[in-house]
Structure 1
């Protein structure tokens, strides 16, 4: 107990001497360092709107030229279930023919979401099953793991307008808590 009191007294003495110069008890006041005002960052001269930024990125080839039409499904001139702009994007990727086929299946599953009746439980289950199977096949086939990095881009490019994103969001909300069975998952016959 005596050691604790002695330690406490020593600590108080040490703290009391802080801020003094040691002679005469004068308190040293620190001088504030000068403030540095950062130079203003230049504002972008090009893209005044998000739409302008997208157009500039598309013109530069940073992102593919996408369909921003008012329709949910967009243009599918060859009626293969994949929007033409998404077909063109997949064709531009450095992937094999079989990998491109799996990506097209994924794109078709994503596009299917835009055509279903969200109030119809069978439509929801069917679209979810198609989406689940396309995702699982890409994840489970060893040589397809290299293309999984394109899946997020397919989602972003497919649901690239407010109306399309809202439909995708509603689809996911309706499915909250549902499960899909995998017993019939056959990725080898998936492309048929």
Structure 2
């Protein structure tokens, strides 16, 4: 009799777990249940609501820059929408432009690599000047956000990593004086 009751307890436990699991998510409503959404559905919802920019994912490093201002159009639109102040837009645009140019620089040309890195350092300093810490968003978050948007494809990320490798052993100084282009 004890053998029978010992076998019965695990089966009863498994049955209870299966029933509870089945009751947890209504498969007829995956769109209304946030936990049941796929990552693609969550991203689409955030893009539709404007909480996440819809980024261009062409198979090129440069991407689409119809107005030829040195910034991908999707990032340009995001900057215009996200930063209400004109001076903040200019600072973030300066960084986005330098970051975009850094992806295309000849990694074997040490002088060009150092020059574009100095431009990025100036642009980052400009962001910290125009978007000081203590404000929302802070400069650090802005830099990370634009970097992640710019390197949003495998090819772009690999170009950024190649630039980082080309800088191995280089000494970069913090810029002084006037750091903003405009």
TM-score by length of 2: 0.72
The aligned runs of 1:46-85 (5 Å cut-off) are 46-47=37-38, 53-85=42-74
Query: Would you say 1:116 and 2:105 are equivalent positions?
Result: yes
In 2, Cα distance between equivalents of 1:151 and 1:112: 15
Deviations 1:75-123 (A, max 9, x none): 1111111110000000111431011100000100110112111111122
Q: Deviations over 1:61-80 (max 9, x none)?
A: 22101110001010111111
Unaligned 5+ segments in structure 1 are 1-34
Match of 1:126 in 2: 115
The structure-2 alpha-carbon separation of the partners of 1:87 and 1:183, relative to structure 1 and needing over 3 Å to count, comes to: closer
Tell which has more relative contact order, 1 or 2 (C-alpha 8 A, sep 6+).
2
Shift of 1:173: 1.8
Conserved 8 A contact 1:133-1:185: no
Residue in structure 2 matched with residue 101 of structure 1 by the alignment: 90
Report the structure number with the largest CA radius of gyration: 1
Aligned length: 152
Distance 1:89 1:122, change over 3 A: same
List aligned pairs for 1:1-192, cutoff 5 A: 40=21, 45-47=36-38, 53-139=42-128, 141=129, 143-145=130-132, 146=135, 147-148=138-139, 149-182=141-174, 185-187=177-179, 190-192=180-182
Question: Of Structure 1 and Structure 2, which has the larger fraction of its residues in helix?
Answer: 2
Residues 68 and 160 in structure 1, CA contact (< 8 A), matched pair in contact too? yes
Could you list the structure 1 runs, at least 4 aligned residues long, displaced by more than 2 angstroms after superposition.
Answer: 35-47, 50-57, 59-62, 180-185
CA RMSD after TM alignment = 2.5
Post-superposition Cα deviations, 1:32-59, rounded to whole Å, max 9, x if no partner, equal: xxx9969547596443xx6565444322
